[in-house]
């Protein structure tokens, strides 16, 4: 990415919809100027032909005096006068041909520059939108549908691009045609010019009403399309669940209902467009009929020369063309404004930002919760008065029922959410984490989830996500610690195996182990395992934990699990219940208290045939309970 693009991506984006496109143009101002010049050239040379025909009919073929601008009369005199042109009518034909050729060349330049401007603006907007979304808060992402975000980044961006490429220069061309045609028509005959403008107020009024109505329908159409895409994306991602429950027919029926809503809206829009274009055609024909009738009458009365009438007819046709195109331009303008508004809605969301005095300290990994209380959106507390400490080289295990606040606790450590002022403090190495730059903090916190997300890349690329320059030996060392190296080497392509979207080609346990290897390869000083061994068997669980104890001696480790066998070797175990700490202590201490931990341990060990005081089931290296 070059320096100009980097600077562009840092621009503020608190702009209105028209300013959105203008700001994206950046250094395209010169190209806009060239596009305007080419558009003006196209119109000017197009309007020369009727004037040449007018003077040819009236003064060259006819006998009327050459009533032309001074510079035109001088050019005719220099060429040999009107008599010379009368004997060489081919010169007039060549002038008409030359004007048409110049108009075509200017039009080609206009179209070329419009395409370049449209593609450049679309490219920059896409980059800006993607970069901005990456900086938005986790809470924003939770509240949005992926399909709707994708639609705004693709379909809405294409709408903006198409308008810039096809309709923006056409709008400018329409304005030029209208202004120049009126000037030339009034310079020839005021009465005929006023006659040509009789229907313009009615057309403008109808266009304004149409614009308001069709814009509302485009908003509905975009919302329906977003809902349709979101549903499709969700079901394509969860296709195995849909099939597992035999819900294919139901999913198809719901999707059909959503597409029906979308189709009905576009049917209504199509009818509105048909009405507008049909009425536009009617008004266009009526305007031509009025001009022709008035022109014939005045020509018969001797008030209008044949050449002037032909020029008026040509210019009236030129004015009719903008009227006929007005429906398409207004339709595309409505869609573009709606699309630009949807893009602006995202760009106007405040991204995550660090305070100017944010810190970037060297992080060792000592985490401390000091009377922390937290609730989403300022609501009822999910966590209440939580206090504990995890030091480097130590392991804290967390046990709790679903909804007890385990994942919320993890979100707070990585600053996906911040603790409000007055609700306690979370520190790392004695520094309030709210004072540490988010990027710095998150790069030093490794997080492995129960449902890990793997990219549709090779296994090597997934494990080396934190450092693409990582060599294969480092990757294999991390994979061996996660007990996945042997499995990967058994694949035909080894670490170059492409695992498919979201790791679909791997089993649940294999995905979890690849995710663990990815975190170990990053070597963060804080490692969090959020039920990340739930899909592996107990024996593999024990082997992985044994490897982890040898590999992460200096890291602060937090393990969340429902398995007592996964937790019992931790230095300290924290039991959460309804957002509060019910018990905290070592395995042996919690067993002696006969609380919730002891009850869960007895339930899980009941089927193993082991007594409570036996060596913990699955505990590596023969560790005894409480040691």
pLDDT score for 368: 93
pLDDT score for 624: 34
Is 427's pLDDT higher than 90?
yes
pLDDT score for 228: 85
pLDDT score for 568: 84
pLDDT score for 390: 92
pLDDT score for 617: 32
pLDDT score for 319: 72
pLDDT score for 5: 38
pLDDT score for 327: 61
Task: Calculate mean pLDDT across residues 79-105.
Answer: 82
Is 107's pLDDT higher than 90?
no
Is 515's pLDDT higher than 80?
yes
Report d(CA 145, CA 82) in Å as an integer: 73
**pLDDT tens figures, 521-539:** 888 899 998 877 776 777 7
Size of the chain, expressed as the number of residues it contains: 627
3-347 and 364-444+525-536+555-620 share one fold = no
Q: Which residues, at least 6 apart from 486, have a Cβ–Cβ distance to it below 8 Å?
A: 480
pLDDT tier at 19, thresholds 50, 70, 90: low
pLDDT tier at 143, thresholds 50, 70, 90: confident
pLDDT score for 371: 92
Task: Calculate mean pLDDT across residues 53-81.
Answer: 75
pLDDT tier at 35, thresholds 50, 70, 90: confident
Task: Calculate mean pLDDT across residues 594-618.
Answer: 64
pLDDT tier at 370, thresholds 50, 70, 90: very high
Cα-based torsion angle of the residue sequence 112, 113, 116, 122 in order, rounded to the nearest 10 degrees: -120
Long-range contacts of 448-451 (CB under 8 A, 24+ apart): 448/512, 448/515, 448/516, 448/518, 448/519, 448/527, 448/528, 448/529, 448/530, 448/532, 449/515, 449/530, 449/531, 449/532, 450/512, 450/530, 450/531, 450/532, 450/534, 450/535
pLDDT score for 360: 86
Report d(CA 574, CA 395) in Å as an integer: 11
**pLDDT tens figures, 563-572:** 888 888 888 9
Task: Calculate mean pLDDT across residues 582-603.
Answer: 89
Is 118's pLDDT higher than 90?
no
What does pLDDT average to over the chain?
A: 80
Could you state, in order of their start, the residue ranges of all structural domains in the chain? 3-347, 364-444+525-536+555-620, 450-523
Task: Calculate mean pLDDT across residues 495-508.
Answer: 78
pLDDT score for 293: 85
- The CATH number of the domain covering residues in 450-523: 3.40.50.300
**How many CA atoms does the CB half-sphere of 612 hold within 13 Å?**
15
What are the backbone angles phi and psi of residue 154, rounded to the nearest 5°?
A: -120, -70
Task: Calculate mean pLDDT across residues 60-82.
Answer: 74
pLDDT score for 323: 65
Radius of gyration of the chain (CA): 37
- For every residue of 347-376, DSSP letters joined together read HTSPPP---TT-B-------EEEEEEEE-G
Task: Calculate mean pLDDT across residues 408-422.
Answer: 88
**pLDDT tens figures, 306-353:** 878 788 777 777 777 666 666 667 767 777 888 888 888 888 888 888
pLDDT score for 7: 42
Report d(CA 433, CA 422) in Å as an integer: 15
Cα-based torsion angle of the residue sequence 357, 362, 367, 368 in order, rounded to the nearest 10 degrees: -50
Q: Which residues, at least 6 apart from 49, have a Cβ–Cβ distance to it below 8 Å?
A: 96, 99, 100, 314
For 364-444+525-536+555-620, CATH number out of 3.40.50.300, 3.30.70.1350, 3.40.630.10, 3.90.550.10 equals 3.40.50.300
Task: Calculate mean pLDDT across residues 225-244.
Answer: 77
**pLDDT tens figures, 153-209:** 888 888 888 888 877 777 777 778 778 878 878 888 888 888 877 777 777 777 777
Going through 302-360 in order, the beta strands assigned E by DSSP cover none
For 3-347, CATH number out of 3.40.309.10, 3.40.1260.10, 1.20.1560.10, 1.20.58.1910 equals 1.20.1560.10
| Token pair in block for residue 148 | 């709707």
């Amino acid at each position: 990415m070059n320096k100009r693009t980097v600077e562009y991506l840092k621009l503020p984006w608190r702009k209105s919809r028209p300013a959105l496109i203008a700001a994206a143009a950046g250094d395209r101002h010169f190209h806009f100027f060239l596009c305007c010049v080419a558009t003006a050239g196209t119109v000017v040379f197009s309007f020369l032909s009727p004037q040449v025909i007018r003077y040819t009919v009236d003064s060259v073929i006819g006998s009327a005096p050459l009533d032309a601008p001074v510079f035109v009369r001088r050019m005719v005199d220099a060429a040999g006068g009107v008599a010379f042109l009368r004997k060489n009518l081919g010169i007039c034909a060549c002038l008409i041909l030359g004007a048409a050729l110049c108009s075509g060349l200017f039009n080609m330049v206009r179209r070329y520059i419009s395409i370049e401007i449209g593609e450049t603006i679309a490219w920059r907007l896409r980059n800006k939108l993607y970069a901005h979304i990456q900086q938005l808060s986790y809470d924003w992402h939770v509240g949005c549908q992926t399909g709707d975000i994708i639609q705004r980044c693709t379909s809405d961006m294409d709408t903006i691009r198409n308008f810039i490429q096809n309709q923006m220069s056409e709008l400018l061309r329409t304005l030029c045609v209208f202004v120049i045609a009126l000037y030339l028509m009034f310079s020839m005959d005021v009465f005929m010019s006023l006659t040509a403008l009789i229907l313009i107020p009615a057309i403008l009024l109808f266009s304004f009403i149409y614009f308001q109505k069709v814009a509302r329908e485009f908003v509905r159409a975009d919302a329906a399309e977003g809902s349709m895409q979101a549903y499709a994306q969700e079901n394509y991602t969860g296709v195995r669940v849909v099939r597992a429950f035999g819900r294919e027919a139901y999913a198809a029926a719901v999707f059909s209902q959503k597409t029906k809503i979308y189709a009905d809206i576009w049917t209504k829009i199509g009818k509105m467009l048909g009405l507008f274009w049909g009425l536009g055609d009617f008004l266009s024909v009526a305007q031509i009929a009025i001009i022709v009738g008035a022109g014939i009458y005045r020509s018969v009365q001797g008030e209008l020369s044949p050449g002037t009438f032909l020029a008026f007819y040509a210019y009236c046709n030129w004015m009719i063309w903008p009227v006929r195109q007005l429906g398409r331009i207004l339709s595309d303008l409505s869609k573009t404004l709606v699309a630009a508004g949807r893009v602006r809605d995202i760009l106007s969301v405040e991204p995550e930002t660090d305070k100017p005095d944010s810190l970037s300290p060297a992080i060792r990994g000592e985490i401390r919760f000091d009377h922390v209380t937290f609730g989403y959106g300022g609501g009822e507390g999910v966590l209440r008065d939580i206090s504990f400490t995890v030091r480097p080289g130590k392991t804290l295990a967390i046990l709790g029922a679903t909804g007890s606040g385990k994942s919320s606790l993890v979100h707070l450590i990585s600053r996906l959410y911040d603790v409000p002022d007055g609700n306690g403090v979370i520190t790392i190495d004695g520094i309030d984490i709210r004072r540490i730059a988010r990027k710095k903090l998150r790069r030093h916190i490794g997080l492995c989830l129960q449902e890990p997300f793997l990219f549709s890349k090779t296994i090597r690329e997934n494990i080396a996500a934190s450092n693409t320059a990582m060599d294969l030996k480092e990757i294999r060392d991390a994979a061996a610690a996660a007990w996945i190296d042997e499995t990967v080497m058994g694949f035909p392509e080894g670490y170059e195996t492409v695992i498919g979207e979201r790791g679909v080609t791997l089993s649940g346990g294999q995905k979890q182990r690849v995710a663990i290897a990815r975190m170990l390869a990053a070597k963060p000083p804080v490692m969090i395992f959020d039920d990340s061994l739930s899909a592996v068997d107990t024996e593999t669980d024990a082997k992985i934990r044994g490897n982890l104890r040898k590999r992460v001696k200096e890291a602060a480790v937090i393990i969340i699990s429902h398995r007592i066998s996964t937790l019992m070797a931790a230095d300290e175990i924290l039991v959460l219940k309804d957002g509060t700490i019910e018990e905290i202590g070592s395995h042996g201490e919690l067993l002696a208290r006969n609380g919730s931990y002891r009850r869960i341990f007895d339930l899980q060990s009941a089927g193993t045939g082991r007594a409570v005081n036996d060596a913990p089931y699955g505990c590596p290296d023969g560790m005894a309970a409480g040691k």
